[in-house]
Structure 1
Amino acid sequence: MLLAAPAFADDQSASLRARLDPVIDRAIADKRIVGTVILVARDGELVYARAAGQADREAGRAEKEDDIFRFASVTKPFVTAAAMRLVEEGRITLDDPVSKWLPDFHPTFDGKPATILVRHLLNHTAGLEYGFFQSPGGSYAKAGVSDGLDLTDISLDENLKRLASVPLASEPGKTFRYSLAIDVLGSVIEKATGKTLDKAVDELVVAPLSITGAGFSTKPSERLTAAYFDGSPEPKRMEGSIAVPIGEGQLMFSPDRILDAKQFPSGGAGMAGTAKDVLTFLETIRKGGSPILSGETVTTMMQDQTGPEAQTQGPGWGFGYGWAVLVDPEAAGTPQSKGTIQWGGAYGHNWFVDPVEKITVVAMTNTTFEGMWGQFTHDVRDAVYGKR
């Protein structure tokens, strides 16, 4: 539960607003983002909340704090927490071979059978990839693998069958490669619980936290933000299914996917919800995990599992279970404390939890990719720490 800031925190909130408001106003005026909802909590108190810009530019609809965003990879921590709860309950173990739960999932490495463990899925060392990291026409595209953001007529089982048909890019357990691992984990959760992933995540994570708006599908609503991607002179609206360039590859987006409950539940990208939903979850993690996880489990999840050489968010960043972990703030060039956890989502989101300063920041936007890793994210971070 988050509390409104008491009187003694008013000065702190006013100071934060004086730093953060101009950052938001400038990003909107410069047409780098279309709309955003930003929440900041410190020591369990909500010290900043603002909705700004437009949820739907063409309709002239202003952003509101309770608007619904497509999560993309903000989904991953929720699904990871569901898996870790099953670990706590003894229903799965970190060292279970994935094939124990998915007997038909048998990828190879270097021409030989490879053993992927549950822990390899959690920290993205399974040797899997994302199709958008490959050049168009790469091995995943040829196999018809979905990255989980596009409209498709295949099932989760079929997508994993296609995924397993492609040789692994690295030996399991050896190298960090951000990937479809959490989609595979979602299938493990389904088999371990006997329930669809959406129902399992709801029962294990969402419902116990009294989160009512987050899920793997939603109905058409004015609360659902439109989706945009970086463009000049202003962000462009996503219509239908669209391939957005990312590095040497391209990421296929279908914003209407979230409206189709028949789409397979992507454990890595399939949820939607509000900024408050995300803040509630992250504050639960920051405070030790109750009522969904034990403090010991949360500590494990927040420990670096890969080493900073993984550079999961650039120099100085490793990876735990569900998120990047800051190992070396100096190398990262960030005011965040060592042990900070952070991640984002391709639809334009960024969040972090600083356990030392007891700060949780959720910055949801409707603009790909500026809201995920653009200058806006750095400016928000620096404003929170008083560096701007």
Structure 2
Amino acid sequence: MRGKRLALAMMMACAGSAVIAAPLFAQAAPAETFKIDRKRIDAALAAMIADGRAAGTSALIWQDGREVYFGNAGMADREAKRPMRRDTIAQIYSMTKPVTGVALMRLWEQGKFRLDDPLAKYLPEYANMRVYAGKDAAGQPRYVAAERPITVRDILRHTAGFAYGAGPTPAHDAYVAAEPLALAVPLSEASKRLATVPLLYQPGTQWEYSIAVDVQAALVEKLSGQPFADYVRAHIFEPLKMTETAWRQPDARLPRFAAMNVKRDGKLVQQPAAEAQTLNFEDHALTPGGFGLASTLDDYSRFARMLLNKGSLDGVRILKPSTVKLMATDQLDPAIKERAWLPGKGAVGFGFDFAVRKSPPQTAEENRGATGEYFWDGMASTLFWVDPANKLTAVFFVQTIPYDGTLHHDFRAAVYGPDYRGPAGD
């Protein structure tokens, strides 16, 4: 049980971020075009193994409607001496979140809800929320009524005020005590438990990575009348032929599952299989919207390519082009100044379950990328992005905990070149 709780705490932990250095670029006229350099990417993947940041790496890139790169290095399982392969199955953690967002936005297209509807219209447990307001003179916590309801838009852009694990306030303590993401409870119960926890701030006033995407999943169940996993399988995975992406993997796939590696005292330690694979090879009541999927490079690339193709792939439409554009557009009001660690991901805003690049990289240390791209990553340092300006998608797999943003920095530099800044922003 302790192992499961530890694994759950790790799943809830948000992806980290690299600090953006202050000095601006000194070089003149950085390149705005690039060409995929296979040797450069191969070398970057190999270097991650050589310097001990990863046990195994793999990457798949599509551009202009064709595969332009696949590469791998190191081991999926060092103890079993299994190399990282194209069909290796990896835990993608928070890369589950964009899948959940797509599922919910399908229902929006059907008129099942409006973005600015109160969440309590569909999940009544969120009526009359309280907000933590600091401590009084006696050191006791103060709570005030929410000034406005949480909206569906809030849960799509992480502005609802929810917590996401332990933290410094009594509201965080209440979250931990409520155990909303206990694997033994279904989404409906998870939502009800969360609704008893005071919010960290007034809805709509701050960006704070949170359990909101699991609330999205509960909303999908309520609006569709189907179990969340069944809805996603029927309306996303099966139409896109994502045959190996699931919360619960068949036992026959266990030999292709990548081991998880945790950095301790500067060295990667491979987790025991029984602990690392609990979520994906055992039955649980909870099917979380914010984590839990395991996938292959090719499967997740099909999801990314659908987004790049404005909602369709191989003749199958998942979303309308206008809906994809909406999800990939910054939804944060300029007045929302408090954004936790989001600025550490670069010159970005946040759409619906994606970070959105708003302008070229501002420093040499910032990750390479093109204005208009949208992306997300996972706790085990996985990453994907969609780059409409260059008609490109990239999926990067590794199983390193805690999240290591240097892997993303180096992979992106290898894809684009270290000086790439892309087209100018608006």
TM range (shorter): 0.7 to 0.9
Q: Percent identity?
A: 34
- Larger deviation: 278-287 or 231-240? 231-240
Which residue matches 2:79?
Answer: 58
Which residue matches 2:311?
Answer: 289
User: TM-score normalized by structure 1?
Assistant: 0.86
Asked if the contact 1:129–1:179 (Cα under 8 Å) also holds between the matched residues in 2, the reply is yes
Would you say 1:24 and 2:58 are equivalent positions? no
Which residue matches 2:395?
Answer: 362
Aligned-partner SS, 2:96: helix
| Paired amino acid for 2:322 | E
- Larger deviation: 94-103 or 338-347? 94-103
| Paired amino acid for 1:51 | N
Which residue matches 1:273?
Answer: 295
Residues of 1 paired with 2:374 and 2:167: CA distance?
23
Which residue matches 1:8?
Answer: none
Would you say 1:141 and 2:176 are equivalent positions? yes
Residues of 2 paired with 1:236 and 1:134: CA distance?
29
> What is the deviation of 1:260?
1.8
Would you say 1:186 and 2:186 are equivalent positions? no
Residues of 2 paired with 1:195 and 1:278: CA distance?
23
Residue among 366, 377, 385 paired with 2:408: 377
Residues of 2 paired with 1:339 and 1:122: CA distance?
19
Would you say 1:300 and 2:326 are equivalent positions? yes
| Paired amino acid for 1:25 | A
Residues of 2 paired with 1:233 and 1:180: CA distance?
30
Aligned-partner SS, 1:183: helix
Asked if the contact 2:42–2:72 (Cα under 8 Å) also holds between the matched residues in 1, the reply is no
Deviations 1:303-359 (A, max 9, x none): 101158536252421100111001122436343111111210112201112111112
Asked if the contact 1:238–1:255 (Cα under 8 Å) also holds between the matched residues in 2, the reply is no
> What is the deviation of 1:241?
9.0
> What is the deviation of 1:64?
1.1
Q: 1:208 to 1:134 in 2, by over 3 A?
A: farther
Larger radius of gyration: 2
Number of aligned residues: 359
Deviations 1:135-190 (A, max 9, x none): 898332222233xxxx7323323322222111101111221111000100100000
Aligned-partner SS, 2:267: coil
Asked if the contact 1:87–1:93 (Cα under 8 Å) also holds between the matched residues in 2, the reply is yes
Residues of 2 paired with 1:347 and 1:263: CA distance?
23
Asked if the contact 1:350–1:373 (Cα under 8 Å) also holds between the matched residues in 2, the reply is no
Which residue matches 1:214?
Answer: 245
User: TM-score normalized by structure 2?
Assistant: 0.79
Aligned-partner SS, 2:362: helix
Residues of 1 paired with 2:391 and 2:285: CA distance?
38
Which residue matches 1:246?
Answer: none
Deviations 1:3-22 (A, max 9, x none): xxxxxxxxx98x62111111
Asked if the contact 1:257–1:263 (Cα under 8 Å) also holds between the matched residues in 2, the reply is no
Which residue matches 1:350?
Answer: 383
Which residue matches 1:103?
Answer: 124
Residues of 2 paired with 1:351 and 1:201: CA distance?
19
Q: 1:172 to 1:277 in 2, by over 3 A?
A: same
> What is the deviation of 1:383?
0.8
Gaps (5+ residues) in structure 1?
Answer: 1-11, 243-253
> What is the deviation of 1:194?
0.7
Residues of 2 paired with 1:42 and 1:117: CA distance?
37
Would you say 1:43 and 2:64 are equivalent positions? yes
Q: 1:30 to 1:288 in 2, by over 3 A?
A: same
Residue among 222, 238, 253 paired with 2:271: 238
